A and B are shown apart, each in its own frame.
Chain A
Amino acid sequence: MKPLHHLSAVALRDAFLQGEVSAVQIVEAFLERIEHHNGKLGAFLTILGPRAWMKAEALDKKRSHNQPLGKMAAIPVAIKDNMHIAGEITTCGSQFLSNYKAPFYATAVHRMEQEDAILIGKTNMDEFAMGSSNENSAFFPAHNPWNLNCVPGGSSGGSAAAVAARLALIATGSDTGGSIRQPAGFCGVVGYKPTYGRVSRYGLVAFGSSLDQIGPLGTTVADTALAMEVMGHHCPHDATSLDLPPETYPLSKKLQEGTVIGIPWQFLKGLNPEVRENFQQALEVMKSLGAHLVEVNLDILKYSIAVYYILATAEASTNLARFDGIRYGIRSKAGKTLEEIYDQSRKEGFGREVKKRIMLGTYVLSAGYQDAYYKKAQKVRTLILHAFDQAFGQCDAVMMPIATSGAFEHGSIQDPLEMYLQDIFTVPANLAGLPAISIPSGYDRRGMPLGVQIIGPQLCDVAVMQYAHAYEQASSHTRIPGNYAS
């Protein structure tokens, strides 16, 4: 049998179910890998050793008693550290919550555990999900398994690195402006952001409430589809949760006859030649599967970053107001009066990027500026929604690159605007609530992964998975980075 970490999650689960490997063996293997690699990679903030062992023993027992086992049985899953596992620490990559014990489960996480996934650790992230490189973690940065000098992307950098290095086979991430898809692209794994509301946000520490979605990262589309089948249920604790029956994701190598892919060429003007070439290759693959390519007009997306950074920070400024040193989290010793407790706790607890975004968000909502910034951005958001509506009138899915380049080196982007512009291709799907996936599409000159993105209309999660699967089967760019293969 292949080494366990070479298997897809589905294959590993099946091996377990068929008795070829025990859950305890699985946990042993993956915990060993984590111990060996995490120091350099910085993918995990917390390793849930005891918990994983207990779950593994319970699973082996269930299997030996022929009891029914869940859809994700024995799959080692990493959870981004902004989602709660009851009783475990949730840090959100922040000093503020370095000692915060989650009082309840995130619904999506709980569902996976109930389907017998083994929760193996909490992954590193940009603080409070604010960042595109995992350089904003208050603890330590995460590194790209393809080149440790490069960032894994963000904010779900730890999750992407963990999956790419095969320290877990599935990870959860959260995506507000691309935080699942961009790191997936940088690390050469699959990353999926569902239609807004498809996965419950209950237990996900909120960043941009109207933009956030929890989604899976995995080594194959089928693995992420499995995770979506398990996570994508209506949740009565989340009023924005879609009140629709859960989807199943039948995957075929073939594209449905007459599939039309839209490409917003105008919007993609100025792509660097490497990325453009890689993107064009991806389009050729779709053509070879029978897809028709059409040009669609999504020029308005050039305003996406402006809209996003106004709306997301506005929501975040209020979502993060609860971190005040009063009920939980750190409380500054330097605070004698109430005001000082607020001011100092937040000064000490929040990193610089978080402070910036909270202030920006406060500014765009403040008296005298709300019309010009927040309300204006909300209107442009409507136009972006309309533009996608129009585009989907002409095609079944839109394809774009994931990013303007492969993973960049740590510290190489200092200008905040340049960092924000990293999200230019991913942010639109959040603004319009659309399902979108990032799939490995090849490698750049440096050998760093590149990713391509498929975006579908609202609620068309199954279709997007299907297109991605067909592409993946026809292109096979997924591999394990050299240092992590053994």
Chain B
Amino acid sequence: MHRDLPYDLWEPVIGLEIHVQLNTRSKIFSSAPNRFGDEPNLNISAVCTGQPGALPVLNKEAVRKAVQFGLAVGAEVAKFSTFDRKSYFYPDSPRNFQITQFENPLLRGGQVIANGKTFKINRAHIEDDAGMLKHFSTFAGVDYNRAGAPLLEIVSEPCIHSPKDAAAYATAIRAIMLYLDASDGNMEEGSLRMDANISVRPKGEMGLRPRIEIKNMNSFTFMEMAIESEIQRQISLYLDHPHRAPLDLIPPGTYRWDPEKRQTVLMRRKESSDDYRYFPEPDLTPLILTDAYIDQLRSTLPELPHDRFRRYISDLGLTEYSASTLVNEKPLSDYFEEALKVCKSPRLLCNWITVEFAGRLKESGKTLIELGILPAHVAKLIQLIEQNQITGRIAKSVADDMLATPGLDPEKIVAKNPDYQPLDDTASIEPLVDQVLAAHPQSVADFKAGRDKALAFLVGAVMKLTRGKASPQIVNDLLRKKMGNGGKEKG
């Protein structure tokens, strides 16, 4: 699959359909529990198992969460929307029709900012999820726990033009759902699933060429790979068969991504038996929303990811990369904000959370939150550094200790370990300073000639001798005193 493709001559056109499970207590039309991971068929009712005589009744909380999403992305919230039946036979469907919103969806339009770009949403609507089919070698088992879970289906315009943008768009949608507390966004549990519609066209060509669909992806990484792979496949086909009609080369079909084979696999071609025969759901009344209701929900919107992102950059001075790392993981971002109540150095705090601690935790796969390390403690660690109570180097050891004994206050850790006590006794440092100065005459000369880097080197040398315990400020002062203030005025 690896060949040199002239990417700059081709434009991928991608549309994403994202299905997000709303985190209501009960299902959308059934009052059974909306929960993942329980033993099969424990979270069911007559409605979500399609018993004869059962009827759907809409969950008002599902509506509320969906409307909040609409407001968060600036969509138009329909004051009058309706439900439709979508017919198809499959064992995970309790009635062999899904209740969805085909003709009059709840939300239209809207946009999401990701990767510095604006992506437009076409529409979004609520519908019920299917159950789960578990595949075994000689049979399959059907579990209806998930049947009837509330889904918000968000359909983008075909305005995404790279796999990275697709992942960024999906990440942004997920972040919004987390910030609204409308979904738990748990990818492994299938709370967010993505279908991608992909076509390519020569750059500059206006119309849309035939597309295929890759369904049911629940990992951003896999989705990126899948889209990339498909783009390559399509471009290659066009290049290899320049005289064949696009529809011949790319007949409509549904694919899935095989993570082991690392390629898209055809599931089925579009058939006439895909006639869903949408028609109005007679068991449900229309969904009628008032301005007052919508305004009330608008007024209770929490801070949204993009606003938080902008605040981190403009108010807190974080880099775009740091800001988006925090913002896209809401629990982490909340943790950061909690620590910020104690410590007033956002950049330093961010670095410790997203780089220092994150790096140490990478192998175990756990998070600061999971380990039970309090945000206030991380904040304190930074305070200790800033107040010169410990050096940066000591702080790293303290961090290791904090991870080894979660819940322990860093101040206590420092107090208990004599090795962590800073050396601020000028008398004991001075001889070491003299030692370093004697050992590095060239650096001394460099510093006197105006090279500040030489000072840093000398400071480092003294720090090494003191095993990091000496107060950098004292060392700095002593060196300057002994060398004179160098070739430049220092402010």
**Which residues of A line the B interface, CB within 8 A?**
83-84, 90, 92, 97, 100, 102-104, 106, 201-206, 209-210, 236-240, 314-315, 318, 321-324, 326-328, 338, 342, 362, 365-367, 370, 374
CB-based contact B95/A321 at 8 Å? yes
Cβ-defined contact, B55 with A239, below 8 A: yes
Chain A residues with CB below 8 A from B282, complex form: 209-210, 240, 315
Residues of B contacting A338 in the complex (Cβ-Cβ under 8 angstroms)? 91
A370 to B280, CA, bound (A): 12
Which candidate, B46-54, B216-224, B408-416, is the interface stretch facing chain A?
B46-54
B53 engages A102 (CB within 8 Å): yes
Interface pair A322/B55, CB less than 8 Å apart: no
Contact B58 A239 (CB under 8 A): yes
Q: How far is the CA of A324 from the CA of B90 in the complex (A)?
A: 9
Contacts of A102 on B, CB cut-off 8 Å? 53
**In whole angstroms, how far apart are the Cα atoms of A201 and B55 in the complex?**
8
Chain A CB within 10 Å — which of B46, B51, B91 has the most? B51
Give A286 to B45 CA distance when docked, in angstroms: 50
Contacting residues, chain B, for A237 (C-beta < 8 A): 55, 57
Instruction: Say yes or no: is B111 at the interface (Cβ < 8 Å to chain A).
Output: no
Q: Which residues of B contact A103 (CB under 8 A)?
A: 46, 51
Whether B58 lies near A327 (C-beta < 8 A) is no
Q: B283 and A202: CB pair below 8 A? A: no
Cα distance A97–B51 in the bound complex, in angstroms:
11
Most A CB contacts (10 A, CB to CB) among B85, B94, B282 go to B282
Separation of A113 and B386 alpha carbons in the complex (Å): 77
How far does the Cβ of A375 sit from chain B's closest Cβ, in whole Å?
Answer: 9
State A439–B233 Cα separation when bound (angstroms): 73
Q: Which residue of A lies closest to B53 (CB)?
A: A203
A202-B54 contact, Cβ under 8 Å, with A209-B282, A321-B89, A327-B49: yes
Query: Which applies to chain A's interface (DSSP): helix, strand, loop or mixed?
Result: loop
Hey, which chain B residues are within 8 Å of A370, CB to CB? 277, 279
Chain A contacts for B57, CB-based, 8 A = 236-239
A202 to B95, CA, bound (A): 16
Sorted from nearest, which 3 A-B pairs have the closest CB atoms? A321-B96, A209-B282, A210-B282
A-B pair number, CB within 8 angstroms: 92
How near does chain A come to B420, taking the closest CB pair, in angstroms?
65
For B275, what are the chain A residues with a Cβ–Cβ distance below 8 Å? Answer: 366-367
> At the interface, yes or no: B56 with Cβ under 8 Å from chain A?
yes
> Do residues B53 and A239 form an inter-chain contact, with CB atoms below 8 A?
no
Contacts A209-B283, A324-B96, A342-B89: A239 and B277 contacting too (C-beta < 8 A)? no
Q: Which residues of A contact B85 (CB under 8 A)?
A: 318
Find chain A residues with CB under 8 A from B91 CB: 326, 338
Most chain A CB within 10 A, of B50, B53, B285, is at B53
CB <8 Å contact, B277 and A97: no
In B72-112, which residues have CB < 8 Å from any A CB? 85, 87, 89, 91, 94-97
Q: Which residues of A contact B46 (CB under 8 A)?
A: 103-104
Chain A neighbourhood of B51, CB < 8 A: 103-104, 328
CB <8 Å contact, B50 and A327: yes
Option from A203, A239, A327 in Cβ contact (under 8 Å) with B283? A239
CA distance A236 to B279 in the complex (A): 24
Find A322's partner among B50, B142, B284, B285 (CB 8 Å cutoff): B50
B55 touching A321 by the CB < 8 A rule?
no
Distance, CA A323 to CA B52, complexed state (A): 8
Contact A362 B277 (CB under 8 A): yes
**Can you pick out 15 interface pairs between chain A and chain B where the beta carbons lie within 8 Å of each other?**
A83-B53, A102-B53, A106-B53, A209-B283, A238-B57, A314-B279, A318-B87, A318-B97, A321-B95, A321-B96, A322-B50, A322-B94, A322-B96, A367-B272, A374-B279
Tell me the complex Cα distance, A302–B389, Å.
Answer: 95
Q: Give how many B residues have a beta carbon under 8 Å from the other chain's beta carbons.
A: 28
Chain B residues near A362: list those with CB within 8 A: 277
Closest chain B residue, CB of each to CB of A328? B51
State A338–B94 Cα separation when bound (angstroms): 15
* CA–CA, A324 and B87, complex, Å: 13
Residues of B contacting A315 with CB < 8 Å? 282
Least CB distance, B144 to chain A, in whole angstroms: 8
**A205 vs B51: C-alpha distance when bound (angstroms):** 9
Smallest CB separation, B446 vs chain A (Å): 80
Q: Which partner residue on chain A sits nearest B56 by CB separation?
A: A239
Contacts of B55 in A (CB 8 A): 201-202, 206, 237-240
CB pair A321–B53 under 8 Å, yes or no, is no
Digitize B435-473: 1 where CB-to-A-CB distance is under 8 Å, 0 elsewhere: 000000000000000000000000000000000000000
Task: List chain B residues, Cβ under 8 A from A209.
Answer: 282-283
Cα distance A209–B272 in the bound complex, in angstroms: 27
B285 interface neighbour in A84, A201, A239, Cβ under 8 Å: A239
Q: Known interface pairs A239-B285, A326-B91. Does A202 touch B53 (Cβ–Cβ under 8 Å)?
A: yes
Closest CB in chain B relative to A103 CB, distance in Å: 6
B150 to chain A, nearest CB (A): 16
B residues 245-300 in Cβ contact with A at 8 Å? 272, 275, 277, 279, 282-285
User: Of all chain B residues, which has the CB nearest A102?
Assistant: B53
Minimum CB–CB distance from A390 to chain B (whole Å) comes to 25
What distance in Å separates the Cβ of B239 from its nearest Cβ neighbour in chain A?
35
**Is the beta-carbon distance between A206 and B53 smaller than 8 angstroms?**
yes
Q: In whole angstroms, what is the CA distance A46 to B100 when docked? A: 38
With both chains docked as a complex, state the minimum distance between the C-beta of A243 and any C-beta of chain B, in angstroms.
10
Complex: chain B residue closest to A339, CB-CB: B89
Minimum distance in angstroms from A336 CB to a CB of chain B? 12
Shortest B132–chain A CB gap in Å is 14
A5–chain B nearest beta-carbon distance, Å: 31
**Docked pose: A203 CA to B54 CA in angstroms:** 6
Q: Name the residue on B nearest A92 (C-beta).
A: B52
Residue of A nearest to B47 (CB): A237
Residue of B nearest to A238 (CB): B55
Interface hub of B56, B58, B97, B279 (most chain A Cβ within 10 A): B279
Other A-B pairs beyond A315-B282, A318-B279, 4, CB < 8 Å: A84-B53, A92-B52, A318-B87, A322-B50
**Do A204 and B58 touch (CB < 8 A)?**
no
A241 to chain B, nearest CB (A): 9
Determine the chain B residues whose CB is within 8 A of the CB of A365 once the complex forms: 87, 277, 279
Q: Which residue, A90, A104, A326, A370, has most C-beta atoms of chain B within 10 A?
A: A326
Assess whether B53 is in contact with A327, with CB atoms less than 8 Å apart: no
Closest to B142 in A: A326
* Residues of A contacting B96 in the complex (Cβ-Cβ under 8 angstroms): 318, 321-322, 324
The closest CB in chain A to the CB of B92 belongs to A326
Q: How far is B341's CA from A78's CA once the two chains are assembled, in angstroms?
A: 71
Question: Distance (Å) between the CB of A101 and the closest chain B CB?
Answer: 11
Q: A318-B87, A318-B97 are in contact. Are A367 and B277 (CB under 8 A)?
A: yes
CA of A90 to CA of B53, assembled, Å: 10
